Structure 1
C-alpha cells in the first residue's frame, strides 16, 4: 500500500501529461505485481488501441484489435475487473491476439472517465494461473489512479482525453504511442498499394550543453523550437512525433521513391539549424537524422525503426569523427 501511495505522488509530479502518466504507471505496475507485461487500451469506436505498453506487450504499442470478442471489450461493457486464468481455455478472450502478445493469463480493469468506461488497464503473464485476488486489488487501485489522472488531464470532453493520451504535452506533437499506431497503419496501406514509406529518427545534438549552461528552461525551449521546425519542414501527409527526451520520429507516407525522402531530410536539416535566440541568448540547435525506407531497407515495422535508429547513430558518429 505504501508503494502505491508513493506511486500516486510520482503521478502528481508528472502533471497533466497523460501520455507520460500512462507510460510511467504500466512500468511501475510490473514491479508491484511481478507481471511480465502491462497495457493501457483505449476504446476507439469498434477497436481497442494499445496506447501504452510495457514488458511482453511493449512491441505491440499502437496495436489495434477488434473490441468485440475480447476480454477488454467485455470489461468495457460490464465495467467490472475480469480475471483470465488461461487464455487457451477461456472463451471470453481473443485467443489469436493473446498468442500474438505472448500471454496466457491476465487481469483487466476498467478505466472510467467522466462516468463512462473509456478503456482498460491490463496486466499479463506468459504463465497460466499466474495472478491472484491480491493482484486484482492492486490493479483496481492503480486503475483508479489512472482514471483520476484522466479526469484532471481532460475534465470533460472525451475528445480532449484522447488528445492528451496521444500527444506530447511539451511540444504538442504526437507521442510514441500515436507514432506506432500511425506507422502500423501506414505500413499496412503501403503493402496493399506497393508504395514506399520512410521513417526518420531525429536526435538533437547539443541539448545537454544547453541544459548545463543555460538551465532546463532553455533546454525545454530548444526542444519546443526543434519540434516546431521539424513540423514546419514536414509535409501535410507526414506524422511528426516526440518519442521521448530529445528524440523525434517522422513517418513519411505518399512517397515516390527514396529520393523524395532524402529531400525531406535535407529540408529538415536546414530548418533545424537556422539561428535561434532564447531570451536574448543565441542557442545552437541541430539534430542527427537517420532514414530507413520500406520495403527497401526493411519489411517489418520493428526492423524498419531499428534501421532508422542505426542510420541516425551513424550520422552522429560521423559528426564526432568516429569511424562507422
Structure 2
C-alpha cells in the first residue's frame, strides 16, 4: 500500500468482500457488536464508546477514537487505549486527516506520519504515532465524523483492518442516525408532555399533572393500606396585591409562593398550581391524620413572610386545608370539598386576626 493515498474501499460490496477476506473471528466479533447495540437503548454516547474499544481490539491498534465533526473542529467524543486520555480533544478540521476524511467521505490510510503531508508530524511525534486509518461515519450522504485507529508503528494496518473498520462504521453510522431520530422523537414527546403538565408562570406542575398523580397515589394508598394527605393552599390577598401594585406584582407573589412550597415539601411529595391563587400538595410520606394536619399548619406558618417587589416588601400569607385519604373520604370530589372548607376556616381566622390587629393599631 502506498503512503498518502486514499484506500479504494467503497461502501458498495464491502460486506461481500469482508465475508471472503476477513477471519471468521472478526466477523463474529462484529456480529456480536451489532447484537450488543440492541441492548444499549439507543444511547449515542454508549454506542461510540463501545465502537472505539471494538475497533482497537479487532485491528490490534494501540488506540482508537471516534471524532465527530462539530463546526470547524473534529472532537474526540470517544477514545480507548493510548488515546483514552485525549477524550474531548478538539482539532481543526482543516489540516487534519480526520477532517479530510469527512470532506472526501472516503477512508484514508496514513502508513507513515513521517512522510505523510496530510498529518501534523510534530503532533504525531509527541503522541508517539506513526500510522493511522480514518474511515467516515456516514448515513446516506451525510458524514458525521470518523472512526480512527492508531499505532506507534509504521504500516501497522492491513486491508483486512480497513474492511473491518468499514463494516463497523456502517453499522455505527446507521445506529447513530436512528438514535438521533429516536432521541429527537423522545425529546419532542417529552416537550409536549412538559407543556401539557407544567404551569408556565411558576414552573410547577399544573392541575392535569396533580390530578394524574393524585389518582395514582390513591390507588397505591388503597392497595398498601396507607394514608394519603391532600392539602389545598390558597394565597391570602392576591386581589389586594393586584389592585394596589399591579398584576406583575401578583405574578411575582405567585412565583415566590411556588418557590417556597417547592422548597418545603419532601421529595416524595407533589406540589402543583391548580389555577389562579390555588395550589395543591400531595403528602405521600406522612403516616397518619394527625401528621397530615400538623404538616398543613406548619406549611402555612413557614410560607408566611414578606417578599421583595420593585424595592418594596409585600406580605405573603396562605391558608391551608388538609384532608386524609381514606379517613376523610374515598372520592376526590368529597375530599376536595372538605379540604376547601378547612382552608376557608383558616382564611376566616386569618381575616379575623388581621382585622383585630388593624383595629387595635387604629385605636
TM-score (norm 2): 0.44
TM-score (norm 1): 0.50
Higher Rg of the two aligned structures? 2
